Structure 1
């Protein structure tokens, strides 16, 4: 008998490790780690299924889907089994078929990431606009592409709404100005540039609003008034790029965020030069009309005085022609009376217009100086 027993066969040791009988068991060493890895994968899978983005794992060579998350099925109205039996191209609208080429391009550019806009096609034929981000990955010898599709329907609607608002600002014939809280101009629409004699709004941005008033201090007053009261309506003298002055009416407000904090100020400017000149001409016309009425009344009195003298002398003369002189005198008196009635009607019309305020001074600016009267809207 040997004092040293033969070492056990290696196959026996391996068998004991596998079935958990050895001192160092494979089952004892790797099974807990395997369970931990599987639990980790399940948690990761649950996270992917809960995300709002649709995630596709694509066989790069065949273009077929290797795996999808739950959101992909929810978006498109298919079960996971149905999706895995479909090629990626069948889930894209006709305008988005180039996405298949972009997926292959992502695989060719290993490690790079590509992003593009496409439209997924749901079971009922609805096109869902998405932003797709794709990157290639390798598992063993197989190359895949991970494509994440994010629904951008709300973003497209917001961009469309913003575009409509921007077009409205750009096409407005009134001047629209947006400035920061110290009066530095951020945006000026073409209407503002045209009113103030500039070719483009870009030539105005960066300046202070005080640049565009005949009285530079008015810009600071308007900014301060807006920040304190929130709104303003005012008339003033504007200053064009060539140095000429003209009459403007401006209305402004403070733009606030959802928390009520001021973000910027917005001014809307109109050229009211023609209106001011028309009002001035109207006032001058009414004034001249009043003078004419007064002058005609005086002339009528003078005519009657002279006519009374003629009638008085005629009545003292004994002549057959005197009757004709008196008859014509009566006729002249009747004509003067008709003129008096016409002047009285003109005076009544003028008083009526004055009561309506048509010949009153317009509010705000009345001379060459700028008005600083500010009214809350």
Structure 2
């Protein structure tokens, strides 16, 4: 029987089935000749059956495949067809008996498309597992059919644990917004577009995770939804916690009151942690708590907390504040610390409380941040992350509140003595006059310390400050409870005496003189003390504040002329003092016209290396008749009589002239600072005048720094700001002098063209031992450097003060520690000596380093 005769043994029905099969069917006899080749085989190999029947099976590229008489063979192979094309084929071989002879049948199926899909799916799986976003694919019933490795990392479920379960049952929980997800899925089923939702999800351990779920659908060719796809991103840190920071920082920038900030913070926390009730309490210096924020707590509950003293068993918050450590009461009802206080929280359904202390940079507990729970429980990891963020934000906000309160206090109080300052005194005098009954009097007494300059010159400014503090204390002891004591500045004080006539004022002045007869102790020295007092009366002498103050001032000068340590009540005869004042003004005008004013220069030293940063030019006036006139005297007078603008421009010109002279002589002084009055900044032409002066002396703009007070940009704000921007456009620097002694908006300061902040000398006196002074200096350094400004501390007199400032990171120091304000020639000598000392110190350091290197080499 021939090879082809064997097919006669195959029934016709089977032959027809083999011919119509989707798979290629090839029958090979025991001599490896092809005896059957159906239509599907022609398509797979792209060969006509007439070309292959009777030929060796090797033509099919299947050599090497040998049928096993016992076991069928199955594999997937790559076939290269006659035309050179390549396909992927699934091959199965089976041995059969046909007509008593051994044959084997080859079944072949083109799986190229399937193989490509498998590769694509494998790549998609690989890509999906590389992304840091969780992927969930569900069927139309929301049963999970696929999750990637990021899902396992985020939620803790393996793919085996997740697949087949409903997504809502797996990662949704008590506070998940299921309605938002359901709404998106309904929209997709109706043919709508994809969407996203931010929801609170839960991991395998029940911990909360805030996620953003972007949900879309896979559709078939008819547009029907076959699968739901969700791309899930963990936004716990990037959005939810950061939203707390943005809320607090933006509120601070907008100068929102601290109570409103606390309220907003608590509300936001309760949004992202729906199972808590949030509370923020402030702890004052006396250890008493005061509610700052707790919008979900009843008002009577918050009122009951106000004024409670912290202690070792005062609920969670009072105890946390007392020990400075977090306190958890998982069951308020049984916790011993809550027993005296538990009735109110239990009555409103609060069962547990976790409180964390908020500490200032100096370690003080300034607040507590608490979570109340409606069930007996401990905080979750999510709660702890929220509290970690809020404790830092709360500390920043409360410390800024304290700093602003201190700045606000300083706006109306003298920093040295704590007394009302000039601005506050005017308000107090106005109030006293308005409240004065008909027929009554208001007495105003001006006090000036006798020979105060001698104290500063002989014992230093620190001793002078101590004298003023002790004087203020003695004056407080002499006045009545309705009287008011204030400090105008320098060594000048004011006492306001409501409903006191001339006789009462006279008795008070005499009592003050007697009380000051006993010397004050300044350090180890006993210092004699006296004051000259001038008194004016409302309404006998004047009915307006300015005249009343001028008359008290005139009477005080008369007391000075009478030999000091006495008092005078204003009289009409004292009007001659006005003539004297005019004479001083005339002398000042002559001094300006004749060039009798001079500048002295005080060095400013860099903290990092001791090199000179610049110099401050300070105006001095010595008159042939009046002698040395203090700037504290003639500068206010110049402002009153309209000479201050002229003095300011003269100071700039003279300072630039001196700088040019020094530079020609080879003295390297980076810049000179000149004080200008706010009045100078009212003129838009100031920038043009400065440009001309710099050009006249061939100086770069950065060689000049203008020192301004906070009042410059608080008064006439628009005009002053325009002038300041014009000056900075030139390249001339602007420095805020006496920063911290006035009251200005920090958010406004951030937008001003300021290059430098100067910490006022009044902060230096106690900076070595007063935590408050250190805190304010720290705040100024932080504000200044945070805004890219150089911070200069003036009035530095001791090495201890310099070291504290260096530790705080203050950039530059200025004061008697290095040198007083010196005339140009004396300053030149000082600078040469300072540079020589710097060079000697550097050589000494190099010698030490060289010795160290030699020692290392020898030991090696």
Pairwise same-fold verdict (TM > 0.5) = yes
CA distance in 2, matches of 1:246, 1:328: 64
Preserved contact between residue 176 and residue 200 of structure 2 (Cα < 8 Å):
no
2:109 aligned with 1:146, yes or no? Answer: no
User: Does the residue aligned with 2:132 lie in a helix, a strand or coil?
Assistant: coil
| 1:113-164: CA deviation from partner (whole Å, max 9, x where unpaired) | 5432223332133332211233333222311112121111111122222222
User: Does the residue aligned with 1:117 lie in a helix, a strand or coil?
Assistant: strand
Q: How does 1:145-164 map to 2 (within 5 A)?
A: 145-164=104-123
CA distance in 2, matches of 1:123, 1:184: 48
| 1:73-95: CA deviation from partner (whole Å, max 9, x where unpaired) | 44434443442354223422xxx
Q: How does 1:232-247 map to 2 (within 5 A)?
A: 232-247=195-210
User: Does the residue aligned with 1:89 lie in a helix, a strand or coil?
Assistant: helix
1:259, distance to aligned residue in structure 2 (A)? 4.0
Question: Which residue in the other structure is 2:355 paired with?
Answer: none
Question: Which residue in the other structure is 1:21 paired with?
Answer: none
Going from structure 1 to structure 2, the CA distance change for 1:263 and 1:348 (only over 3 Å counts) comes to farther
Q: Which of 14, 28, 44 is residue 58 of structure 1 equivalent to?
A: 28
Going from structure 1 to structure 2, the CA distance change for 1:345 and 1:338 (only over 3 Å counts) comes to farther
Going from structure 1 to structure 2, the CA distance change for 1:201 and 1:140 (only over 3 Å counts) comes to closer
Question: Which residue in the other structure is 1:191 paired with?
Answer: 150
User: Does the residue aligned with 1:119 lie in a helix, a strand or coil?
Assistant: strand
Preserved contact between residue 134 and residue 147 of structure 2 (Cα < 8 Å):
yes
CA distance in 1, matches of 2:60, 2:711: 96
CA distance in 2, matches of 1:46, 1:348: 95
Q: Which of 266, 272, 276 is residue 235 of structure 2 equivalent to?
A: 272
CA distance in 2, matches of 1:211, 1:153: 38
Question: Which residue in the other structure is 2:709 paired with?
Answer: 335
CA distance in 1, matches of 2:72, 2:251: 79
Preserved contact between residue 26 and residue 34 of structure 2 (Cα < 8 Å):
yes
Question: Which residue in the other structure is 2:249 paired with?
Answer: 285
CA distance in 1, matches of 2:141, 2:21: 44
2:634 aligned with 1:323, yes or no? Answer: yes
1:242, distance to aligned residue in structure 2 (A)? 3.1
Going from structure 1 to structure 2, the CA distance change for 1:58 and 1:235 (only over 3 Å counts) comes to same
1:53, distance to aligned residue in structure 2 (A)? 3.4
Going from structure 1 to structure 2, the CA distance change for 1:50 and 1:338 (only over 3 Å counts) comes to farther
1:225, distance to aligned residue in structure 2 (A)? 1.9
Question: Which residue in the other structure is 1:89 paired with?
Answer: 58
1:349, distance to aligned residue in structure 2 (A)? 7.9
Question: Which residue in the other structure is 1:76 paired with?
Answer: 45
1:284, distance to aligned residue in structure 2 (A)? 0.7
Preserved contact between residue 59 and residue 144 of structure 1 (Cα < 8 Å):
yes
Preserved contact between residue 131 and residue 151 of structure 1 (Cα < 8 Å):
yes
Unmatched runs of 5 consecutive residues or more in structure 2: 1-7, 189-193, 256-399, 414-420, 427-487, 490-545, 555-580, 585-625, 645-675, 679-707, 722-743, 752-860
Q: Which of 393, 414, 423 is residue 306 of structure 1 equivalent to?
A: 423
Going from structure 1 to structure 2, the CA distance change for 1:327 and 1:180 (only over 3 Å counts) comes to farther
CA distance in 2, matches of 1:147, 1:314: 122
Question: Which residue in the other structure is 1:249 paired with?
Answer: 212
Going from structure 1 to structure 2, the CA distance change for 1:152 and 1:252 (only over 3 Å counts) comes to same
TM-score under structure 1 normalisation?
0.63
Q: Which of 107, 123, 128 is residue 87 of structure 2 equivalent to?
A: 128
Preserved contact between residue 182 and residue 223 of structure 1 (Cα < 8 Å):
no
CA distance in 1, matches of 2:159, 2:712: 62
CA distance in 2, matches of 1:64, 1:297: 105
Preserved contact between residue 248 and residue 271 of structure 1 (Cα < 8 Å):
yes
Going from structure 1 to structure 2, the CA distance change for 1:302 and 1:267 (only over 3 Å counts) comes to same
1:271, distance to aligned residue in structure 2 (A)? 0.9
Question: Which residue in the other structure is 1:372 paired with?
Answer: none
Higher relative contact order (CA 8 A, sep 6+): 1
Preserved contact between residue 677 and residue 712 of structure 2 (Cα < 8 Å):
no
Preserved contact between residue 225 and residue 232 of structure 1 (Cα < 8 Å):
no
Preserved contact between residue 226 and residue 252 of structure 1 (Cα < 8 Å):
yes
Preserved contact between residue 178 and residue 267 of structure 1 (Cα < 8 Å):
yes
1:233, distance to aligned residue in structure 2 (A)? 1.6
CA-based RMSD of the aligned residues comes to 4.1
TM-score under structure 2 normalisation?
0.30
Q: How does 1:204-215 map to 2 (within 5 A)?
A: 204-205=162-163, 206=165, 208-215=167-174
